[in-house]
Amino acid sequence: MNEALVELFRHKTWATLLLIEACQGLDDEMLDATTPGTYGTIRDTLHHLVARDPESAGREVTTSDGWRTPAAIPMAQAIHHAECHRGHVLSVLGAHHIQTPGLDIGEDLDVWHHGIAVGLMQAV
């Protein structure tokens, strides 16, 4: 599998886990908050993010709605999908002025911060 694709999945997992960790201290009212235009509540969106796991990239798969495709396509969709839903959670947090200690919701989940956090980027 292409190293860039592997790193994209590592980032997806890292960012999602960081967001879940940041939301662990929220009370039920905050976790059940939502905002128009997002997937749903913070709780439902986070659950949705971790409920699916993509197939191996080299395999051909048939989607539930009848499309046959290399598994790399649903894998790429999984990365895109997770990014959208993390954005939904961040939108709900921001719209309701919910603080997440230790997480700057505007920056900390990006690929640059992932590279620094896992030691793939160092200042020179």
Q: Where are the domains of the chain?
A: 3-117
Does this model's pTM top 0.75? no
**CA–CA distance, 18 with 103 (Å, rounded to integer):** 8
One DSSP character per residue, 7-52 reads HHHHHHHHHHHHHHHHHTT--HHHHT---TTSSS-HHHHHHHHHS-
Distance of CA 53 to the CA centre of its chain: 12
pLDDT per position as a tens digit, 67-110: 998 877 888 888 888 889 988 998 899 899 988 877 776 567 88
Q: What is the band of 52 on the pLDDT scale with cuts at 50, 70, 90? A: low
The residue to which tokens 């590279």 are assigned: 115
**Whether the predicted pLDDT of 60 surpasses 50:** yes
